């Protein structure tokens, strides 16, 4: 008799672009920051139009089909289109496997972002990303490139009642999971984010920290790199992130605020200064403010995206 696994209270979704360096630092950190949380890595580095759960058993002679989650029983390799409006997750069992005899079956799922179909696993050696994810008992999801689409794909397979979206290159603070739990213990809070602190302490770091935290707390506009978290129910009511090429985080936060209060926590997430280091403090700051202002007055994200050149380590644009 198989005992059902208890759903974790928190699922951490990390969008990446097939880069292992940042994950080698972040995933071990998360075991201290959020013990017991479900970790999901949503890779946009190789998929084109499909989203797949591909956490596989790399052992030669292992099971015929992919394992979707660490420690789970062998399951079919799931593949399908992202951003499905359906609220049913449909999969087909391989011929002769189980009682369905290859017939399509359906089951309800709380995440309306994927429509999935089972296909046999192709034997292959795990990539560097696969190995890093497997080594830290995380789940790997491959999705079309785009941070919003990738985060939706990760949320679609998440089991937690709270979702925490983290960029791969940040350093989350100790006690973060407890702080999220305390914040969401208030029924009026639908989600929130962490404070901002630049990791490299340049001369402009205190000023940047202060202005970003002012924007977050006074104007209610934290950015995605501040570790946005949300109740699953609120996330589903909003339909997740919109597939925007830029400002998907600001768009999501503004819509989330219509459902209830957002908490901006005192604990700060540490953010890499590499963009300011490479492009210059004044240039980056002015451009970011202009892009935000243009977004707020309704300029389409597709027109804004060419003006924002990604500078990343394992995170999508």
Domain that holds residue 115: 10-157
Check: CB of residue 121 under 8 Å from CB of residue 64: yes
For residue 116, what pLDDT is reported?
Answer: 40
For residue 162, what pLDDT is reported?
Answer: 97
Total-model pTM: 0.76
For residue 20, what pLDDT is reported?
Answer: 84
Residues 143 and 191 in one domain: no
Residues 104 and 240 in one domain: no
For residue 311, what pLDDT is reported?
Answer: 60
Angle at 120 between CA 105 and CA 86, to 5 degrees: 35
Q: Is residue 15 part of a domain?
A: yes
Q: Please identify, among 127, 157, 187, the residue that sits at the C-terminal boundary of a domain.
A: 157
Work out how many domains the chain is built from and give that number: 2
For residue 74, what pLDDT is reported?
Answer: 32
Q: Please identify, among 128, 157, 186, the residue that sits at the C-terminal boundary of a domain.
A: 157
* Interacting residues of 207 by C-beta distance below 8 A, sequence separation 6+: none
**What is d(CA 238, CA 155) in angstroms, rounded to the nearest whole number?**
13
Residues 205 and 268 in one domain: yes
Residues 149 and 178 in one domain: no
pLDDT digit string (tens) for the chain, length 317 residues: 444 455 568 999 999 986 788 899 999 999 999 999 999 999 987 544 455 555 433 333 333 222 234 544 333 333 333 333 333 332 323 333 333 333 333 333 434 444 443 333 344 445 688 999 999 999 999 999 999 999 999 999 999 999 999 999 999 999 999 999 999 999 999 999 999 999 998 999 999 999 999 999 999 999 999 999 999 999 999 999 999 999 999 999 999 999 999 999 999 999 988 889 888 889 989 998 999 999 999 999 899 888 887 665 544 54
For residue 110, what pLDDT is reported?
Answer: 39
Residues 16 and 153 in one domain: yes
Q: Is residue 312 part of a domain?
A: no
User: Hey, CA dihedral for 317, 260, 177, 4, is it positive or negative?
Assistant: negative
Q: Is residue 166 part of a domain?
A: no
β 10-16/162-165 pair status = parallel
Residues 200 and 75 in one domain: no
Check: CB of residue 40 under 8 Å from CB of residue 55: no
**What is d(CA 201, CA 117) in angstroms, rounded to the nearest whole number?**
48
Residues 20 and 63 in one domain: yes
**What is d(CA 317, CA 308) in angstroms, rounded to the nearest whole number?**
9
């Amino acid at each position: 008799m198989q005992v059902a696994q208890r759903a974790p209270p928190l699922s951490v979704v990390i969008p990446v672009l097939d880069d292992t360096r940042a994950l080698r630092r972040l995933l071990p950190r998360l075991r201290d920051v959020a013990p017991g949380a479900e970790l999901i890595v949503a890779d946009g580095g190789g998929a084109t139009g499909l989203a797949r759960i591909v956490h596989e058993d790399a052992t030669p002679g292992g099971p015929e089909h992919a394992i979707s989650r660490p420690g789970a029983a062998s399951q079919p390799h799931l593949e399908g289109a992202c951003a499905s409006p359906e609220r049913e997750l449909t999969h087909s069992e391989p011929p002769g496997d189980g009682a369905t005899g290859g017939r399509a079956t359906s089951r309800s799922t709380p995440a309306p972002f994927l429509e999935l179909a089972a296909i046999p696993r192709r034997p292959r050696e795990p990539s560097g990303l696969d190995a890093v994810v497997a080594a830290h008992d995380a789940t790997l999801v491959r999705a079309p490139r785009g941070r919003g689409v990738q985060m939706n794909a990760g949320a679609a397979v998440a089991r937690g009642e709270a979702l925490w979206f983290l960029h791969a290159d940040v350093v989350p603070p100790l006690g973060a999971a407890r702080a999220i739990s305390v914040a969401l213990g208030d029924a009026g809070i639908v989600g929130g984010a962490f404070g901002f602190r630049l990791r490299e302490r340049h001369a402009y770091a205190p000023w940047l920290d202060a202005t970003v935290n002012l924007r977050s707390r006074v104007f209610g506009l934290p950015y995605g790199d501040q570790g946005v978290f949300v109740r699953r129910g609120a996330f589903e009511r909003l339909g997740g992130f919109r597939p925007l090429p830029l400002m998907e985080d600001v768009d999501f936060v503004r819509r989330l605020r219509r459902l209830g209060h957002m908490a901006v926590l005192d604990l700060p997430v540490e953010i890499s200064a590499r963009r300011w280091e490479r492009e210059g403090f004044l240039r980056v700051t002015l451009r970011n403010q202009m892009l935000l202002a243009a977004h707020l007055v309704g300029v389409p994200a597709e027109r804004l995206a060419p003006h924002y050149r990604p500078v990343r380590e394992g995170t999508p644009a």
